[in-house]
Every structure is written in C-alpha cells, then in structure tokens.
Structure 1
Amino acid sequence: MGRLTTHVLDTALGSPGQGIRIEVFRFSGGERTSIGEVVTNDDGRCDAPILEGDAFSVGEYELVFNAGDYLRRRGVAADEPRFLDVIPLRFGVADASQHYHVPLLLSPYGYSTYRGS
C-alpha cells in the first residue's frame, strides 16, 4: 500500500525537528487544495503516514514546513524576516502504490530534501 511520510532533522543541532507544523496540499487542474496538516513528534516524524491507501493518489503534492516557528521556539537568533520561515516542497507522485518519504534536513540558513524510503 502506498503512503506519504516525512521526517525533519535539525542539522544545526543534530537532533529531530520536534513540533513542526506541516500543511499538506494537493494540486489538481491548477487548483491548490488543502488536505490537512500534521505536527512532528519528539522524533521529528509524524505519528502516522500523512496520506495512505485511497487518500494517496497519483498527482502533485506540496508539504509546507513552518520552520520559522520552530526556529523561534528553539531560541535561534535571526533578523526578521527570517531567511527561512515557511518552506514549501512541491513534488510529484507517479506511482501511488509506493512509499514516498520526503524528509527535510533543516538549519537556520539552508535545507535539503530527497525522496527516501
């Protein structure tokens, strides 16, 4: 069964990104539709897949990581507006029967992502 998961790692601190709110969107016919939101747990993961089964289909998705709120809570000093505040990751799902793991490696001045498993 296909599913969508994520994991946030704070590479500046070498620890999981705890309590990060992630908004989830689907694109269809040029329309961006909100399909929910999740919050990372103490391990920087979500307690369950973001989407799975019939709720997960071929198409384009976007995960919006509210990183600025997390960095403020961690006491990371920065000028406002922050260099990184809201991080949108838009990606395509070609085979909804597979596992799409979309991690975010985060620091106050950079991030990276990839498709994991």
Structure 2
Amino acid sequence: MTSHVTTHVLDASAGRPAAGIRVVLATASGDGVAATSGTIVAQAVTDPDGRASLGPEQLTAGDYTITFLTREYFAEQGTAAFYPFVAVTFAVEVADDGSSRHYHVPLLLSPFAYSTYRGS
C-alpha cells in the first residue's frame, strides 16, 4: 500500500538528510486565523534518507497538518534550535470520482529557519 502523504526532511545546516525526526499527520480545522490539530491520522520517523510515509493510501478531502518534532532532533545533535516543532497545514482535494493526487511535503530545516513547498 502506498501512503497518500510523504515527506523528505533535509538538514540544511549539516548538509544531509535529517534522520530520526518524529512526524505526526493529523486532521486540522480553523478559520484561517487560528488552526488547531484534530485527530491523529498517522505517525512516523524519518529514515536514514530523511524520508517518511504517512497515512493511508487515500485521505478524505479536508485540511491536514504535518508536525515535525524538531526540538528532539536538534537536541540529539547537541544543537539549540529556535523552533521546537514545525507545523505545516495543507489542503487535500478529492475529485468527484474519489481520486486524489499524491501529496509530498518536503521540509528544508536548520536550527533557526525552515522552508517547505508542494513536492511531487
């Protein structure tokens, strides 16, 4: 079975994949001003290549949040970090026929900055 959501975390400060980061996928809700996480859908830990698969083969339409537990990762590296976690909220769309594209949410990480984008 293929997961509907995948991620790849790269540690820009070290120039290598970020292995061992705990990642949580949960439903999300909010009005655009304040988003809250709801039900946990899946959890994973990034592999030696910094990759993780989350969730079932298909998600229902709606908003979801991937939370990367970065404090734990940087503490294990002996590095202070400004962000204790990174939460990325995104929308899953499902077509009328029930199909949906794969969602890949990469994270480029350093102790004091991060960026993300819609991957493929």
TM-score normalised by L of structure 2: 0.81
**Counterpart for residue 43 of structure 1:** 49
The structure showing larger relative contact order (alpha-carbon pairs under 8 Å, at least 6 residues apart) is 1
Residue 5 of structure 1 corresponds to 6
Tell me by how many angstroms 1:2 deviates.
Answer: 7.6
Q: Within 2, Cα distance between the matches of 1:31 and 1:107? A: 24
- Check if 1:25 corresponds to 2:26: yes
Of 60, 63, 73, 1:57 maps to 60
Task: State whether residues 104 and 112 of structure 1, in contact with CA within 8 Å, keep that contact through their aligned partners in structure 2.
Answer: yes
- Number of residues of Structure 1 aligned to a counterpart in Structure 2: 110
CA distance in 2, matches of 1:72, 1:115: 28
Cα distance, 1:31 vs. partner? Answer: 7.0
**Aligned letter for 1:60?**
D
Match of 2:115 among 108, 112, 117: 112
Indicate if the aligned counterparts of 1:10 and 1:17 stay in contact, CA closer than 8 A. Answer: yes
Aligned Cα root-mean-square deviation (Å): 2.1
Structure 2: runs of 5 or more not aligned:
31-35
* 5+ long unaligned stretches in structure 1: none
Q: Which runs of 4+ in 1 moved over 2 A?
A: 27-31, 51-54
